[in-house]
């Protein structure tokens, strides 16, 4: 795949990162000491164990430490759930007891585990994961015997867990995530781990194994012409079924193209990106599969205001409840969608928090300036710490995945009205009809993996799947007189 937006993997210091035209992101230098990396995109290997090819590759390349490689680490079953916070603060500056948070986490994640059981059911009680969770929670609430204040606090904590789940699914609301296929997403065992130098360590190793200069960067493709017979001067006498036309006018003839652009890009551009247009079933699958936004907001502090062993600061907005439908209120309340802050391991004297925010509020955040975001989050932190004098962060850096023209969102989910079959439909190579013509356009990328969508290992496996498909066809060619090539 080609990194057209330049928004790829990680921002690493100390050099200010170049930002490509139109990416609208990473404009601001974020000075980190050498070796310090923050990831605006993927950060963890989810489920680092034998069944995870990203883990396998990282291990082969020697990029993981002893702890990450240990059997013990590989055997941890998290169920894909986020660990408990180190502290939980409310919007009025109170600390929530971690027992109460743990109680709500176990209720919430117990219900999430139940949702997976509808995979093979013939019917679901409600269409979405969100509605199912709310239905179950409203039943539970009737049995709560605490005082009014505690009951309200419990709902507010649950509201934060809904927002965490929106980040994981990359969606505005869990009401948009289909219940029946939710269990098809597969969580691998292993305690999520990271690359000390960022995911780029892995992509650098992969690239080093390729011949020099085969990768072209910053060359956006405008249109993929297919079902044709294209003759280009560089290959006299040969006709190609596919012609890749780039925005700068370059034309690359090809026998086959593996398309790995994000689903968000396809949703917006499919009509002009393919000529002739995609068959109706594929166009429909692109419309139906969900693709939303999850963003990160990094804040750099002069001094940490958190305890040295603090890993995750959860934020709970008082008087919120998952059972109350509120219209997203943007200007004054977008930041209430923020789930809290991850504490990044300190590098040298640099102290960084990473906030996560999903959905329409996240997309609204992208329209604000860095200064506005910094100001709003400073106010949030002053509220939740109860310290009106808390020094403002030194700098802010955030992802803007929805505005990024070559991404248009974060990752895919199975939306209400779609199923895993739509993922397979998206992955189907073209043309589908005529077995005498060769395969022309193949599809890979996270959104084409039925059980590992939204992850780097899903993306990697999908690329290998399509590479193997082509290798298989070329093998056939050498053995048979009339190959489907
Ligand atoms: C905030 C965030 C956090 C994440 N965290 C994790 C995590 O911790 N662990 C994990 O496993 N996954 C994580 N993911 C998901 C992971 O990043 C994706 O699943 C994975 O990168 C998808 O790979 P891909 O190759 O399908 O698509 P991408 O990585 O999006 O690559 C597609 C490429 O196509 C290029 N492109 C688009 N249009 C064109 C065009 N017209 N011409 C040429 N090139 C084009 C894009 O610029 C891009 O480089 C995260 C994602 C986000 C957004
Ligand atoms: C591909 O070309 C053939 C022959 O010209 C035509 O019959 C067919 O409809 C084309 N397919 C698409 C998807 O345009």
227 CA → ligand 2 middle, Å: 6
Report the alpha-carbon distance of residue 442 to residue 257 in Å, rounded. 6
Closest atom of ligand 1 relative to the 43 alpha carbon:
8
Instruction: Specify the pLDDT at position 30.
Output: 54
| pLDDT tens digits, one per residue of 241-292 | 999 999 999 999 999 999 999 999 999 999 999 999 999 999 999 999 999 9
Report the alpha-carbon distance of residue 62 to residue 52 in Å, rounded. 15
139 CA → ligand 1 middle, Å: 39
User: Could you tell me which of 194, 159, 165 has the C-alpha nearest to residue 73?
Assistant: 194
Residue 431 burial (C-beta neighbours within 10 Å; 0-12, 13-18, 19+): middle
Residue 245 · residue 251 · CB < 8 Å: yes
Tokens 């489907």: give the residue. 484
Query: Is the CB of 448 inside a 6 Å radius of any atom of ligand 1?
Result: no
Closest atom of ligand 2 relative to the 277 alpha carbon:
13
Instruction: Specify the pLDDT at position 437.
Output: 67
Instruction: Specify the pLDDT at position 435.
Output: 64
Instruction: Specify the pLDDT at position 32.
Output: 57
Please give the span between the terminal C-alpha atoms of the chain, in angstroms, as a whole number.
22
Q: Tell me the CA distances in angstroms from 431 to 443, 447, 450, 481, one per residue in order.
A: 12, 20, 21, 20
Instruction: Specify the pLDDT at position 329.
Output: 76
Instruction: Specify the pLDDT at position 377.
Output: 98
Domains annotated for the chain, with CATH where assigned, are: 1-322+336-429 (3.50.50.60)
Ligand 1 pocket test, candidate residues 248, 455, 461, most atoms within 8 A of CB: 455
4 CA → ligand 2 middle, Å: 30
Dmax over CA atoms of the chain, in Å, equals 82
pTM of the model: 0.92
Query: Is the CB of 276 inside a 6 Å radius of any atom of ligand 2?
Result: yes
User: Could you tell me which of 409, 417, 418, 419 has the C-alpha nearest to residue 454?
Assistant: 409
Run of H or E including 12: strand 10-12
440 CA → ligand 2 middle, Å: 13
**Residue 252 Rama label (left phi>0; alpha psi -120 to 50; beta):** beta
Query: Is the CB of 296 inside a 6 Å radius of any atom of ligand 1?
Result: yes
Instruction: Specify the pLDDT at position 35.
Output: 62
Q: Whose atoms come closest to the Cα of 441: which ligand?
A: 2
Strand residues in 72-145 grouped as ranges (E): 87-90
Task: Please enumerate, as own/partner, the contacts of 365-369 that have beta carbons within 8 Å and a separation of 24 or more.
Answer: 365/295, 365/297, 365/334, 365/335, 365/398, 366/24, 366/295, 366/398, 366/400, 366/402, 366/403, 367/403
- Strand pairing of 312-316 and 340-343? antiparallel
Query: Is the CB of 466 inside a 6 Å radius of any atom of ligand 1?
Result: no
100 CA → ligand 1 middle, Å: 36
Ranges of residues in the chain whose predicted pLDDT is under 70? 1-35, 434-437, 476-485
Instruction: Specify the pLDDT at position 25.
Output: 38
Residue 223 · residue 272 · CB < 8 Å: yes
Query: Is the CB of 284 inside a 6 Å radius of any atom of ligand 1?
Result: no
54 CA → ligand 2 middle, Å: 39
- Which of helix, strand or coil describes residue 138? helix
Instruction: Specify the pLDDT at position 280.
Output: 98
473 CA → ligand 2 middle, Å: 22
Query: Is the CB of 399 inside a 6 Å radius of any atom of ligand 1?
Result: yes
Query: Is the CB of 277 inside a 6 Å radius of any atom of ligand 2?
Result: no
Atom 24, ligand 1: which residue's CA is nearest?
445
Residue 85 burial (C-beta neighbours within 10 Å; 0-12, 13-18, 19+): buried
Query: Is the CB of 261 inside a 6 Å radius of any atom of ligand 1?
Result: yes
448 CA → ligand 1 middle, Å: 12
Instruction: Specify the pLDDT at position 306.
Output: 98
Residue 289 · residue 381 · CB < 8 Å: no
Instruction: Specify the pLDDT at position 12.
Output: 38
Instruction: Specify the pLDDT at position 438.
Output: 85
Residue 53 · residue 460 · CB < 8 Å: yes
User: Could you tell me which of 201, 210, 209, 206 has the C-alpha nearest to residue 68?
Assistant: 201
| pLDDT tens digits, one per residue of 50-83 | 999 999 999 999 999 999 999 999 999 999 999 9
């Amino acid at each position: 795949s080609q990194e057209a937006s330049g928004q790829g993997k990680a921002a690493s210091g100390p050099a200010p990162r170049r930002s490509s035209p139109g990416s609208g992101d990473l404009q601001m230098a974020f000075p980190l000491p050498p070796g310090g990396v923050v990831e605006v995109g993927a950060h963890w290997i989810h489920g680092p164990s034998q069944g995870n090819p990203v883990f396998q590759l990282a291990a082969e390349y020697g990029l993981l430490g002893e702890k990450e490689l240990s059997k013990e680490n590989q055997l941890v079953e998290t169920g894909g759930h986020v660990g408990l916070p180190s502290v939980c603060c409310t919007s009025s500056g109170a600390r929530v007891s971690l027992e109460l948070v743990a109680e709500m986490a176990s209720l919430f994640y117990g219900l999430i585990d139940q949702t997976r059981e509808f995979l093979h059911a013939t019917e679901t009680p409600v269409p979405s994961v969100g509605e199912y969770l709310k239905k179950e929670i409203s039943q539970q609430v009737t049995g709560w015997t605490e005082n009014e204040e505690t009951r309200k606090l419990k709902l507010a904590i649950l509201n934060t867990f809904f927002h965490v789940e929106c980040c994981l699914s990359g969606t505005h609301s869990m009401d948009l995530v289909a219940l029946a296929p939710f269990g098809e997403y597969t969580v691998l065992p292993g305690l999520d781990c990271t690359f000390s130098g960022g995911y780029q360590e892995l992509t650098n190793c992969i690239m080093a194994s390729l011949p020099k200069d085969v990768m072209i960067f910053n060359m956006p493709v405008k249109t993929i012409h297919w079902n044709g017979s294209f003759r280009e001067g560089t290959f006299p006498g040969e006709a190609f079924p596919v012609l890749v036309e780039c925005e700068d006018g370059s034309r690359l003839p090809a026998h086959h193209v593996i398309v790995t652009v994000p689903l968000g890009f396809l949703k917006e551009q499919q009509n002009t990106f393919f000529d002739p247009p995609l068959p109706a079933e594929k166009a429909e699958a692109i419309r139906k599969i969900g693709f939303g936004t999850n963003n990160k907001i990094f804040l750099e502090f002069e001094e940490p205001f958190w305890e040295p062993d603090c890993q995750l600061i959860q934020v709970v907005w008082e008087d919120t409840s998952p059972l109350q439908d509120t219209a997203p209120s943007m200007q004054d309340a977008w930041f209430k969608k923020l789930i809290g802050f991850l504490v990044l391991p300190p590098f040298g004297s640099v102290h960084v928090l990473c906030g996560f925010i999903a959905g329409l509020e996240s997309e609204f955040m992208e329209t604000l300036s860095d200064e506005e975001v910094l100001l709003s989050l400073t106010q949030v932190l002053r509220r939740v710490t109860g310290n009106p004098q808390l020094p403002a962060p030194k700098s802010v850096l955030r992802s803007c995945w929805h505005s990024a023209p070559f991404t248009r969102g974060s990752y895919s989910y199975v939306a209400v009205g779609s199923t895993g079959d739509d993922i397979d439909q998206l992955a189907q190579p073209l043309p589908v009809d005529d077995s005498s013509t060769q395969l022309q356009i193949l599809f890979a990328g996270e959104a084409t993996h039925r059980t590992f969508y939204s992850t780097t290992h899903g993306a990697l496996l999908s690329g290998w799947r399509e590479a193997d498909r082509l290798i298989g066809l070329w093998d056939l060619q050498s053995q048979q007189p009339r190959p489907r090539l």
